[in-house]
Structures are given as structure tokens and as C-alpha cells.
Amino acid sequence: MQPYLQLASLRLATTIPLSQKIFSGKLLVTPEAMAAMAYIVLWAAALFVFAALLHWVYRWNHPKANGKLPPGSLGIPLLGETMQFFAPNPSNDLSDFVKNRVKRYGSIFKTSIVGRPVVVSADPDMNYFVFQQEGKLFESWYPDTFTEIFGRDNVGSLHGFMYKYLKTLVLRLYGQENLKAVLLGETDAACRGSLAAWAAQPSVELKEGISTMIFNLTAKKLIGYEPSKSSESLRKNFVAFIRGLISFPINIPGTAYHECMEGRKNAMKVLKGMMKERVADPNRKCEDFFDHVIQELRREKPLLTETIALDLMFVLLFASFETTALALTLGVKLLTENPKVVDALREEHDAVVRNRKDPDAPVTWAEYRSMKFTNQVIMEMVRLANIVPGIFRKALQDVEIKGYTIPAGWGIMVCPPAVHLNPEIYEDPLAFNPWRWQDKPEITGGTKHFMAFGGGLRFCVGTDLSRVLMATFIHSLVTKYSWRTVKGGNVVRTPGLGFPDGFHIQLVPRS
């Protein structure tokens, strides 16, 4: 080794000027050597960062679990498979996101949406198990972006006694007693009036028309809303909110999500102003549901807080009109494409009218309950509409199911469309066939094979109102009018249902 060291010393000595060789008796390093050392350090740092990133990516896609995780990919760290989840699907079929993964991994798979690991279930037995174990193994949960949209204290994020208390409160408005006594007549009148107004126009954009009709009806019951110019801004805020409700969660100006959050902020501002005004008036009588909520706030030891009350009103205003409006719009499109179903509906509803003393009398509860084929049509409409692309829960502990482990804290997305469009459950699932429900028992809650209104403890409290509204609308539509498509009607799912170019129809009174 010694000769090599001497040779190296000789080469170094010949390349450094004498003035730079000795300083305080120490050998100095050349600028070229310093640059080489810096280059090596940078490469080492880059390799370290690259190795750390590889390890992070590996750990992201191979999380630790006390058992076997479902197959699937968690995608890119933090972003996950969010982009694929929100990719538009111009079809009424199951989204490519779910369909491709079911084909590859089976009916239970893992993914990551907006930064959270989620197990997606297209399995009817697992779905039913998840719903039945709420409060034990699972609890209601939605990704943080959804919670920001609906509020931290929205009814979907509350559990146990508080959720049951709010559900009982809401059933004062949507329960069968009030439905029979008040809401049936009001929905029938709203449908008659709206259809008559639309028939006087060259055409109507149906989704917008139905949304306005239902919003005016339900907002009147909830907050005493009057569709005047001064209050129209509230509905516009909800429209802005809805456009970005199920969109990629980037909150910067110009995005649908930003528009959604601005719509929520403005709508909440209106609700807060209404609450402040009503709380300041101790002599105000109970005229709507909001007044009942404020009465609960005035109790000596109220269970409600103002934040919970406001989030409750916001969610009810949204849920009361948007979901039903979408299902009914798609329903009319399906009727337009299936004249045999319209003929069968007319036969049933014309018989109802003939049996009345006054043909123009409003629909009675007995008449509504007699509309058997109409109920089959409604069931088929909501099965194909699949308004809710996923129902979310969270594992409270490690859960063993179907040979897999769902780790504590992971999300579970029950996927109703994957069940409703499963050819092993529904023959020719994309066909609009109301007769498939013939001679089957009436569904009053969620089942393994039908969950358009949810399931378990959180079965939608507005289900009966939605069915009444759809039935009364169909009754007036088929007994009094014919219609044709003017333009639009194309469907897109992102993953929620939408009509990007609207659905314009022309109504013509029946002779």
C-alpha cells in the first residue's frame, strides 16, 4: 500500500501551488476536490431520500394488520385512488372503478380515498353484517371532506343516544301519522300545480323543475320558506352546494368543491340569521320544524347545541329534495323509454280516478296504498337510480369477516350499486322491469339485496315521504299528460348521478 500512497502524494503535490500547500503546517484541499466531495454527498442524500420514499410507498401499500387484508391497492400515498374514484362514467351501469376491481379482486377489496384506507364491499352478506353491527363493531363515518361539507356535527356523524334522539325528533315531521294527515295532501297539490305550470311552457328542464317543486314543499315544512325573490338565494346556495358535493376535494376558486363549500357557507349564514331572529322572539308560535328544534334548545338542560341544530337543518334541507328529484328525473326518462310501463301505470291510475266521486279529488291514503304496480315502478326506479354510490362506516376494532381482517379505524364503503346491478341477484340488471317486483313482499327496510334507502339503524327516515312524493307525481303525470323528450337526458356518474345537459321534456294534456 505504501507505494500507492507515495504516488498519490506526489500527484497532489504537483497540482497544488506551493502557496496553497502549506498553511499552519496543514495540507489544504483543492476546489476541485471540494466539488467532488459535494457531488458525492448530494448523490448520497438523493439515494437516501429515494430509499425513504420507496420504503414509504411500500409501507403505504403494505400496511400492518393482525390478519389478512382484503386484496387491492391503496394507490399513491396520500392521494390513494381518489382520482379513479371520481372519474366520470357516462352510463347507468356500475362505475368502472368498482366494476374493474370486483373483476380483479372479488367482491371485497381495499383502496384509499382522499387519504384514508377503505374496504369496499360489493358482497350482500357483508353489507348486511356491517349494517346490523352498527354501534358494536362499526359506526357511521364519512371521509373528512364529506364531514367538512355536511358539518362536524351533522346527523350522520353522531352516534348512540344523540342519533336516536335526533331521529325521533325528525320523525315528528316525516313519520306516517303526519304523512297521512298532512304531507300526502300537500305533495299531491304540489305535483298537480307544478305539472300544470310546466304544461303551459314549450318545455321544462325536468331535474330543475322537480328540484324546485320539492325544495319549495319541504323547505316550507322545515323552515317556513316562501319561494319569493328575497328567499330564492337560499335555494341557489343549495344548487351550488350540490354541484360540487361529490367532486374531487380541492378547495381552490374555480373548482366544483370550492363552489360547494361556498354554497354551504352562504346557506349556513341564512340559517344562522333565521335562528338568531327566532331565538330572540320568545312569543313565536311553532309554525314549522325549525321552531320545534328551537324549542328543544330552550329546554332547561337541552340535549341539542346550536351547532348540531344548524347542521341538522342543513342536512334535512339537502336530503329532502335532491335525492328524490334525481331519482324521479331518471324515473321519467326510464318511463319515456318504456311505453309498456306507462300503459300499465295508466291502467292502474285511470281505475283510481274512475272509482272516485270527484275525478279531480286529491289522492287519499287508501288510494295511495292501492297503487301496487306504482310501488313496483318506484322500487325499480330507485334500484336503477343508485343515488347513493357508497354508504360509509368505520371499524371500531379489528373485525374478522369472510376470511379477511378489517383493521380498527379503517373505513368500510358498502356499495349499493354493486348489489342492485348484480346479474346473479337481478336478471338483466340494467333493464327497467317493474314486473320483477311482482308478488314479492313489500320492503319496509334495508335488505341484503336492496339498500336504496340504506339499512340497519340508519335506514332513511324520509323513505316514506319519498315514496309518497314519487307516487303522487306519477299519478298526476300519467292521468293528465302525455310527454316527449325535447333534448338532453344523458346520464353521467361522478360517482353521483347527474344530467350534464339536462333532461328537457314537453308536456301535453291528455284528451
Mean pLDDT of 270-286: 87
Top-confidence range, 84-93, 236-245, 500-509 = 500-509
Q: Are 223 and 271 in contact (CB under 8 A)?
A: yes
pLDDT-derived band at 327, boundaries 50, 70, 90: very high
CA distances from 59 to 63, 65, 75, 76, 83 (A): 6, 12, 12, 11, 21
Task: For the chain, give every domain's residue range.
Answer: 1-62, 153-386+421-509
pLDDT-derived band at 248, boundaries 50, 70, 90: low
Residue 175's pLDDT is what? 86
Residue keyed to cell 291528455: 510
Mean pLDDT of 175-188: 92
- Considering the chain, what percentage of its residues have pLDDT values greater than 90? 46
Q: In terms of DSSP bridges, do strands 492-493 and 204-205 run parallel, antiparallel, or are they unpaired?
A: unpaired
Asked whether the predicted pLDDT for residue 481 surpasses 80, the reply is yes
∠ CA 103-104-108, nearest 5°, is: 80
Asked whether the predicted pLDDT for residue 228 surpasses 70, the reply is no
Range in 175-179, 181-185, 332-336, 506-510 with the lowest mean pLDDT: 175-179
Residue 238's pLDDT is what? 66
> What distance in Å separates the CA atoms of residue 95 and residue 86, rounded to the nearest whole number?
10
Structure-model confidence comparison of residues 308 and 62, the more confident one: 308
Asked whether the predicted pLDDT for residue 364 surpasses 80, the reply is yes
Residue 483: φ, ψ to 5°: -155, 160
pLDDT-derived band at 235, boundaries 50, 70, 90: low
Residue 188's pLDDT is what? 97
Top-confidence range, 84-88, 170-174, 304-308, 376-380 = 376-380
In 62-174, alpha helices (H): 82-85, 96-105, 124-132, 144-150, 160-174
pLDDT-derived band at 158, boundaries 50, 70, 90: low
Range in 160-164, 237-241, 354-358 with the lowest mean pLDDT: 237-241
Residue 23's pLDDT is what? 41
Residues 406-455 pLDDT 10s: 999 999 999 999 999 999 999 999 999 999 999 888 777 778 999 988 88
Dig out the grid coordinates for 150 from the structure: 355536511
- Considering the chain, what percentage of its residues have pLDDT values greater than 70? 86
Mean pLDDT of 146-151: 69
Residue 385's pLDDT is what? 95
Residue 4's pLDDT is what? 39
Q: Are 218 and 314 in contact (CB under 8 A)?
A: no
Mean pLDDT of 341-367: 96
Handedness of CA 88, 90, 94, 97 (dihedral sign): negative
Residue 3's pLDDT is what? 43
Asked whether the predicted pLDDT for residue 24 surpasses 50, the reply is no
Asked whether the predicted pLDDT for residue 133 surpasses 70, the reply is yes
Asked whether the predicted pLDDT for residue 20 surpasses 60, the reply is no
Residues 313-322 pLDDT 10s: 888 887 777 8
Asked whether the predicted pLDDT for residue 387 surpasses 80, the reply is yes
Residue 370 parent element (H or E): helix 365-370
pLDDT-derived band at 265, boundaries 50, 70, 90: confident
Residue 267's pLDDT is what? 83
Residue 16's pLDDT is what? 41
> What distance in Å separates the CA atoms of residue 386 and residue 444, rounded to the nearest whole number?
18
Q: Which of 111, 497, 119 is nearest to 328 (CA)?
A: 497
Q: Is 429 helix (H, G, I), strand (E, B) or coil?
A: coil
Asked whether the predicted pLDDT for residue 87 surpasses 70, the reply is yes
Asked whether the predicted pLDDT for residue 355 surpasses 70, the reply is yes
Top-confidence range, 146-150, 210-214, 234-238 = 210-214
Top-confidence range, 17-21, 242-246, 440-444 = 440-444
Residue 191 assigned ligand-binding role: no
Handedness of CA 369, 370, 373, 374 (dihedral sign): negative
Residue 32's pLDDT is what? 76
Residue 55's pLDDT is what? 63
Mean pLDDT of 464-477: 96
Residue 308's pLDDT is what? 86
Residue 118 parent element (H or E): strand 116-121
Asked whether the predicted pLDDT for residue 53 surpasses 80, the reply is no
Mean of all residue pLDDT scores within the chain? 85
Task: Tell the CATH superfamily of the 153-386+421-509 domain.
Answer: Cytochrome P450 (1.10.630.10)
Mean pLDDT of 60-68: 82
Q: Are 138 and 393 in contact (CB under 8 A)?
A: yes
